[in-house]
Chain A
């Protein structure tokens, strides 16, 4: 790791000030950023630690509206009793991220700010039509996630929360990369008042995306059987040593089917 200056922010306003110095980066759980710094792939001059800011932590459920503080850990999301009732699919999804020790540190805000193409949250938030709240504005998930490791965030902009309206039905199915345990394919399906939404992570060569083919089939009939014979094109899907584009295309259909079945239970 290169040398770095650490700052512990006490509030969002404090963090906003601190992040202006040098080539600073915001640090939340650090589960991606610190390994990247260790291998010298990331070299910020300063780190602004958000993880102790109380106002960024916790899950709130008010009626159908779910709001999750940006510095809420995966563990806390996975185990929040209110969330388990309002949107069990998201709690379940959080329980599939990394391993227990990673879930104790990693946060929802950190994950979506990083927008790893194989991360789980982007698929969930895209499918849920979530709103990403920052210290400056609110951004729809469909506008927020832009390509590989790219987001709509401006320099120094801080995610404070994520909110969404709990769907009637939802589920997430993940097929893990056998080595990294990130998603080779993760499919989040949600059925809400605005219709059916299916978002895919791990597979797209430009990051998280919605699968038109699968959504089209499910709009007519939100049942696993509706996906029999549905083919997902391999075009624009990634190929690497673990999975070809064709294999990923197959997995998208299979995971979607299983997710719909789980959502209907």
Chain B
């Protein structure tokens, strides 16, 4: 057993967990953040993707105790109050989800992807970067569309802010 202390969705969280507890199980079972899912055993499906210290990682392949001292953002922490994050909004607008199970991981991967590509995204890049996220419902068609749309929206947002600042 280890004591853990970490930031989750902007709040300080402390707890005790067996050392073998995976981060995803700590989030789901200790913190009740069940939006992060487990869809495979081999770190390939990406249903468990969260952000640790600003980077997308697979929370099923990381011990909770490894994240102690880190800052974690889950799907529950992405929206700003009642306002959906632009990626969340784009998934809804473009029907980028059906059963919803892979969706939290997809959205967390997509936000990370967009952040890493401030120059913008094209379809081939989005498809390549989704290698670690499996969806069985959508055939990815609308997921790709949603991510491209969100990327554009967010770029506009940044430009808009830059203009305001100028």
**A interface with B by C-beta (< 8 Å):** 1-6, 8, 27, 30-31, 34-35, 37-39, 47, 49, 51, 75, 98-102, 104-105, 180-181
**Is B2 an interface residue, CB under 8 A from the partner?**
yes
Given A98-B132, A102-B132, 17 extra CB contacts under 8 A: A2-B20, A4-B20, A6-B2, A6-B19, A6-B65, A31-B43, A31-B61, A34-B62, A35-B41, A38-B41, A39-B42, A99-B131, A99-B133, A100-B116, A101-B109, A104-B57, A181-B131
**Is B150 an interface residue, CB under 8 A from the partner?**
no
* Residues of B53-87 contacting chain A, CB below 8 A: 55-58, 60-63, 65-66, 68
**Is B46 an interface residue, CB under 8 A from the partner?**
yes
Assuming the A-B contacts A35-B42, A51-B66, are A1 and B20 also in contact, with contact meaning beta carbons closer than 8 angstroms in the complex?
yes
**Is B97 an interface residue, CB under 8 A from the partner?**
no
Asked if A30 and B132 sit within 8 Å, CB to CB, the answer is no
Chain B residues with CB under 8 Å of A100's CB are 56, 109, 112-113, 116, 129, 131-132
* Residues of B102-134 contacting chain A, CB below 8 A: 109, 112-113, 116, 129, 131-133
Q: List 10 A-B contacts (CB under 8 A).
A: A34-B43, A35-B42, A35-B43, A38-B60, A51-B66, A99-B46, A101-B46, A102-B61, A102-B132, A105-B62
Assuming the A-B contacts A3-B18, A181-B131, are A101 and B58 also in contact, with contact meaning beta carbons closer than 8 angstroms in the complex?
yes
**Is B143 an interface residue, CB under 8 A from the partner?**
no
Interface residue from A30, A101, A102, A180 paired with B63 (Cβ < 8 Å): A30
Chain B residues with CB under 8 Å of A1's CB are 20, 22
- Please report whether the interface of chain A is mostly helix, strand, loop or mixed according to DSSP: mixed
Q: Which residue of B lies closest to A34 (CB)?
A: B61
Chain A residues with CB under 8 Å of B18's CB are 3
Q: B159 to nearest A CB, angstroms?
A: 24
Chain A residues with CB under 8 Å of B63's CB are 6, 30, 34, 47
Q: Which of A8, A51, A100 has most B Cβ within 10 Å?
A: A100
Asked if B66 and A49 sit within 8 Å, CB to CB, the answer is yes
Compute how far the CA of A6 lies from the CA of B49 in the bound complex, rounded to whole angstroms. 22
Q: Which residue of A lies closest to B130 (CB)?
A: A99
State the 4 A-B residue pairs at the shortest beta-carbon distance, nearest first.
A99-B132, A6-B19, A99-B131, A104-B55
Compute how far the CA of A80 lies from the CA of B41 in the bound complex, rounded to whole angstroms. 31
